[in-house]
């Protein structure tokens, strides 16, 4: 078990700043995911932890000790890539034994360890098979066993499932989490797939343009995005430009709420902490957090707004509704039996009740 710290690490390639002052403190046994779009610096960050890329600036520490000058093979890390690259000419057994043989471990130890690994991935009966005689999912499990056999201090995963089909990805992500939980090893997992990140992480670090935009639990990231990028990248969201009119008095320890005005709408949402009256903001509200009410149920409260249904799409388990509210198009997703009552409401006036509303600064408006 190892604590991993990244302290202001950066990597410059020519004029490209691939990683820009990343800080992270990952606890012993924690499972952290770097989530972000292609090109945001995830792989470069992971490879710096592995020692395969040298940082231009900053420090990497394992258990408090700076490892910048420790070569990759001495960092004792396990690395899993998209292409698991099993040795095609070696059996499952020999593939898993490989790292231990290189280390010169005694033969009896190797045998015990490989057996243990085979049991863990439930492939004991396939020890003598060649990789080509295994399914894609079985091959990836052998790759995981090979990575764990040498008992690394830290597990690093770079999009290990992205070459597999969806069903296999769904089962294997839980196998990875299960192996990590059982071995209690610190893990850093890189992906651009949010469903993967949400399913398996203790904490998610959302990356954008070489920086960590927000680090937090799944709930923090999903319900309390701190930046426009995070709110837009994770899940589906409505982004409504608005201006802050006031701060709602709150009790100590409770999140501060802001009153904002967007077109003709009075909205109220949680404040990430850096916003003042008069600021231009974006109000985010998720389509699944909006209720469609009867037009007659109009009440004069924040987050209850008039609208007119423009479009209804039945998608089976959900119904997607597009509502024009004071000239702003708002996406609503409705599920459960209530969704069926919406189907005949096209072109009708309705009320929307917006819940779990988040306010973030509109950086484009601030810059302008």
Ligand X SMILES: Nc1ncnc2c1ncn2[C@@H]1O[C@H](COP(=O)(O)OP(=O)(O)O)[C@@H](O)[C@H]1O
Using the minimum distance from each CB to ligand X, give the nearer residue, 44 or 214. 44
Q: Which does 255 bind (CB under 5 to 8 A by kind): ligand X, Mg ion, none?
A: none
C-alpha triplet 198, 194, 53: angle, nearest 5°: 100
Q: Least distance in Å: CB of 254 to Mg ion?
A: 40
Collapsed DSSP state (helix, strand, coil) of residue 52: coil
Q: Which does 338 bind (CB under 5 to 8 A by kind): ligand X, Mg ion, none?
A: none
Binding site for ligand X (CB under 6 A): 13, 16, 18, 36, 38-44
Binding site for Mg ion (CB under 5 A): 43
Q: Least distance in Å: CB of 209 to Mg ion?
A: 14
Cα→Cα distances 72→62, 75, 275, Å: 13, 5, 44
Using the minimum distance from each CB to ligand X, give the nearer residue, 16 or 195. 16
Task: Give the closest residue to 238 by CA, choosing from 331, 304, 310.
Answer: 331
Q: Which does 238 bind (CB under 5 to 8 A by kind): ligand X, Mg ion, none?
A: none
Q: Least distance in Å: CB of 40 to Mg ion?
A: 9
Task: Give the closest residue to 91 by CA, choosing from 120, 112, 114, 113.
Answer: 114
User: Under a CB-based contact definition with an 8 Å cutoff, are residues 200 and 173 in contact?
Assistant: yes
Report which residue's Cβ sits closest to Mg ion.
43
Using the minimum distance from each CB to Mg ion, give the nearer residue, 41 or 272. 41
Q: Which does 95 bind (CB under 5 to 8 A by kind): Mg ion, ligand X, none?
A: none
C-alpha triplet 122, 123, 124: angle, nearest 5°: 100
- Phi, psi torsion values for 49, nearest 5 degrees: -65, -40
Please state the three-class secondary structure of 167-193 as a single string.
Answer: HHHHHHHHHHHHHHHHHCCEEEEEECC
Q: Least distance in Å: CB of 36 to ligand X?
A: 6
- The whole-angstrom separation of Cα 49 and Cα 55 is 9
- The whole-angstrom separation of Cα 121 and Cα 178 is 10
Q: Least distance in Å: CB of 323 to ligand X?
A: 36
C-alpha triplet 33, 39, 44: angle, nearest 5°: 60
Query: Residue 64 burial (CB < 10 Å; 0-12/13-18/19+)?
Result: exposed
Q: Least distance in Å: CB of 169 to ligand X?
A: 18
Using the minimum distance from each CB to Mg ion, give the nearer residue, 77 or 258. 77
Q: Least distance in Å: CB of 53 to ligand X?
A: 8
Using the minimum distance from each CB to Mg ion, give the nearer residue, 162 or 318. 162
Using the minimum distance from each CB to ligand X, give the nearer residue, 201 or 334. 201
Using the minimum distance from each CB to ligand X, give the nearer residue, 41 or 225. 41
- The whole-angstrom separation of Cα 205 and Cα 21 is 14
């Amino acid at each position: 078990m190892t604590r991993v710290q990244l302290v202001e690490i950066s990597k410059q390639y020519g004029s490209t700043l691939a990683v820009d002052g990343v800080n992270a403190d990952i606890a012993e046994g924690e499972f952290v995911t770097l989530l972000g779009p292609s090109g945001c610096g995830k792989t470069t960050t992971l490879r710096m932890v592995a020692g395969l890329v040298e940082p231009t600036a900053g420090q990497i520490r394992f258990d408090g000790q700076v490892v910048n000058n420790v070569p990759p093979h001495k960092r004792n890390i396990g690395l899993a890539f998209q292409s698991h690259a099993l040795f095609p000419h070696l059996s499952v057994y020999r593939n898993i034994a490989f790292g231990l043989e290189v280390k010169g471990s005694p033969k009896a130890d190797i045998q015990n360890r490989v057996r243990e690994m085979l049991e863990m991935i439930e492939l004991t009966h396939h020890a003598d098979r060649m990789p080509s005689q295994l399914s894609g999912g079985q091959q990836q499990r052998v790759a995981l066993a090979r990575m764990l056999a040498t008992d690394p201090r830290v597990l690093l995963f770079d999009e290990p499932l992205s070459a597999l089909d969806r069903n296999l990805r769904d089962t294997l992500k839980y196998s990875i989490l299960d192996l990590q939980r059982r071995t209690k090893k610190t893990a850093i997992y890189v992906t651009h797939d949010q469903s993967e990140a949400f399913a398996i992480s203790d904490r998610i670090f959302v990356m954008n343009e070489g920086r960590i935009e927000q680090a937090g639990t799944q709930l923090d990231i999903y319900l309390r995005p701190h930046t426009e990028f995070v709110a837009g990248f994770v899940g589906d969201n409505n982004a409504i430009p608005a201006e802050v009119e006031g701060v709602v008095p709150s009790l100590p320890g409770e999140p501060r709420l802001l009153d904002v005005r967007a077109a003709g709408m009075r909205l109220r949402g949680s404040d990430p902490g850096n916003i003042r009256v008069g600021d231009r903001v974006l109000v985010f509200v998720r389509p699944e957090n909006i209720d469609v009410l009867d037009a007659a149920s109009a009440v004069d409260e924040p987050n209850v707004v008039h609208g007119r249904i423009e479009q209804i799409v039945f998608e089976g388990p959900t119904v997607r509704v597009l509502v024009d509210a004071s000239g702003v198009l708002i996406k609503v997703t409705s599920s459960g039996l209530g969704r069926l009552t919406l189907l005949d409401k096209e072109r009708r006036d309705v009320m929307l009740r917006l819940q779990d509303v988040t306010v973030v600064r509109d950086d484009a408006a601030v810059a302008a």
